[in-house]
Structure 1
Amino acid sequence: MSDLTGSTDINTANLPIIDYSRIEAFFFEKTAENVAENAKLLRAVNDVGFIYLKNHGITDEKMKQLFDYAKEFFSWPVSEKEKIESCESKFFHGWFSPERTSKTRIADQKEAFDIGDDSNLVRPNQWPADWPEFRTEMNYFFEKCHEIHLVLLGTFAETQGLPKDHFDSFVNEKDHFFRLLHYPATTPDSIGDRLRASPHTDYGTLTLLFNDNSGGLQIRGKDGQWLEVPPIPGYAIINIGDLLSRWFNGSLKSTEHRVVEPPPEWSKLDVEGRLPPRYALAWFGNPNRNAWIEPLSSCITAESPQRFEGVWAGKHVADRIAKLHKDGKAPEVWKDSMYREERPQQQQQQQHAQLPALA
């Protein structure tokens, strides 16, 4: 199968397609095929930081059910969705609408529903009432993505001469979150003023993204140009986050991306001249909140001196989400100067290697 999809006239990213089943098998069988697939994965994450992933174990039927539930939830009136609205005091779990939470009018054209680890009673999820099937399916997806995440982290650990479970203790508290995304129908002209998702990098370790067939996802190439990432039915899109890049002293690439109007070949306007709605499921992997993230010593050399200071993972993620809520969009490039000032209690907690407060 070609690594490219879509029209040859479109400036496409040409992302490699990685067979996840061979990455799993690589730990136990160093066959030529598995070794080659593993090498292909490592080249990609060191080069562009984005891949397609096939044979990931989530069936087409399961994905259809998840997307159907997402569409049903987002079809509800605002008066129902706001009963479980996300905010910082609720650990950013629940329904999120930039139209209601942003102090600006530049918010992305999207709404979301955010879910964390459902077994964490200290940071509880908010769920739609009287809909147990929704909760069951979303939790299944959360756990499945965590499993895939562990396997990929194990692969990256082995490149540094570390055991494949090296990162497990840094992510075992499952401080990830899973986001249902809805980009409402809109006109092409409106995207000129407010993108569906403004340029940004992701915060944590790895992102697993499943798109519908609408298109519009772009990544920034090495030359600064935006490249289309066509959706491939049944495939996940995986990308490196900032904290994993920091762990590897920048050798793993956390690449800027956005969601814009798809090429006309991929998305027809309706009778009112609008682009159809777009839906996506995005799972964002994060280290444990109290994990201290600094570059691995093996990644610091004379040719590659240390690029990053250490940060508390929980504070990094919470501050980035807080800035998103405050500004209405994520910053294109996160700078350490953007962290919020810490109160004395937070400083004391850091001295004891505990997570700073989220507020």
Structure 2
Amino acid sequence: MSLDILSIKYTDFDADKQFEHSLKHSGFAVINDHPIESDLIDEVYEDWKNYFSSEEKTMYMFDEVKQDGYFPYLTENAKGSTAKDLKEFYHIYQWGRMPELIGPATVKLNHQLTELATTLLSWIDNSAPKSISSLFSMPLNDMIVNSQFNLFRIIHYPPMTGNEDASSIRAAAHEDINLLTVLVAGSEPGLQVLDEKGEWVDVTTDKNTIVVNAGDMLKMASEDYYPSTTHRVVNPDPSINVSRYSMPLFLHPRDEVTLNKDHTAGSYLNERLRDIGLK
């Protein structure tokens, strides 16, 4: 494997430098011994398993303008792909709707992950070469302060039925739109990243790890110093054909934040939402 994805102990004295190194050389990092409560993650997964198996989910259909709410199966496609991803999902914004079935644990987890992400962004600011950090229009963690577009996405990948389009997988190859993504370990394997040789490599995690990756906005703001690495979620082996659940938090700058000479965060987000069929 040529990608240098580091597994980093959150409490290490040089965790910030390890993290920045891993993002620079792979676009990804895996965080261990982090402050997110394991029992809280389990509770949130259980709440959303109940939601996706209920009839109530269709009461919260997504708003095409606001982008909050429930997105049915086969709604989204990756940029440049016509095949729809084999998933359904729910978008949570701090101002958005929350299903009645969902308890307070989701809000608590969202808050904890946002605090963790804020710390990780400060690690980048503090550890990046001055020639790179000077490119940022403001410190990275300041970009997300009071952002209305930080997105907590709860994803359900149903078991395979055998009737799926032959070209469809759970999440086709893509890069994330946003600044930084913080992802508690999925309930099942399936996440892969594309290495420098053009080969797909499994991202191995356990339930107590958090995967972090740079998005296109960080790549743009750093003038390509931090790569936004292509990744996907593959279909399961028939022997383990069960649902997979995943909970990424996508950190988005405020709309007016300048990324580079061509884009603000708002202009780039709208362009990409059109690309993937959500606008």
Normalization by structure 1: what TM-score?
Answer: 0.69
Which of residues 114, 122, 135 in structure 2 aligns to 1:154?
Answer: 122
Q: How does 1:85-234 map to 2 (within 5 A)?
A: 85-89=61-65, 91-99=66-74, 106-118=83-95, 125-129=96-100, 131=101, 134-158=102-126, 159-161=128-130, 166-174=139-147, 175-187=149-161, 190=164, 192-234=166-208
2:239 partner SS: coil
Which residue of structure 1 lines up, in the alignment, with residue 226 of structure 2? 252
Counterpart amino acid of residue 72 in structure 2:
S
CA contact (8 A) 1:12 1:227 kept: no
Tell me the number of residue pairs that the alignment of Structure 1 and Structure 2 aligns: 269
Question: Structure 1 residues 221, 12: closer, same or farther in 2, change over 3 A?
Answer: closer
Return the letter of the residue paired with 2:274: A
Structure 1 runs not aligned, ≥5 long: 1-10, 23-33, 119-124, 270-274, 295-308, 327-358
State the distance in 2 between where 1:210 and 1:200 align: 19
Q: Secondary structure at the match of 1:290?
A: coil
Post-superposition CA distance 1:92-113 (Å, at most 9, x none): 11101143688x9721000001
Using a 3 Å threshold, how does the CA distance of structure 1 residues 172 and 260 change in structure 2: closer, same or farther?
same
**Contact 1:201 1:242 (8 Å CA) reproduced:** yes
Cα-to-partner distance string for 1:63-97 (whole Å, 9 max, x where unaligned): 100110110110012xx3222111322x1111011
Tell me the equivalent position of 1:319: 271
Bigger proportion of residues as helix = 1
Asked if structure 1 preserves the Cα contact closer than 8 Å seen for 2:191 and 2:203, the reply is yes
Check 1:106–1:280 CA distance in 2 against 1; reply closer, same or farther (3 A cut): same
Give the 3 Å change call, closer, same or farther, for CA 212–168 of structure 1 in structure 2: closer
Alignment equivalent of 1:67, drawn from 32, 36, 45: 45
CA distance in structure 1 between the aligned counterparts of 2:227 and 2:30, rounded to whole angstroms: 15
Secondary structure of 2:119's aligned partner: helix
Larger radius of gyration: 1
Between the aligned partners of 2:209 and 2:34, the Cα distance in structure 1 is 8
Q: Which amino acid aligns with 2:227?
A: K
1:212 Cα deviation after fit: 3.2
Q: Percent identity between the aligned chains?
A: 22
What amino acid sits opposite 1:223 in the alignment? K
4+ residue runs over 6 A deviation: 11-14
Residue 184 and residue 154 in structure 1: after superposition, are their counterparts in 2 closer, same or farther (change >3 A)?
A: same
Over the aligned positions, Cα root-mean-square deviation in angstroms equals: 2.6
Question: How big is each residue's C-alpha offset from its partner over 1:20-47, in whole Å with a ceiling of 9 and x where there is no partner?
Answer: 233xxxxxxxxxxx13x33322221111
If asked which structure has higher relative contact order (CA below 8 Å, sep 6+), I would say 2
CA distance in 2, matches of 1:61, 1:95: 25
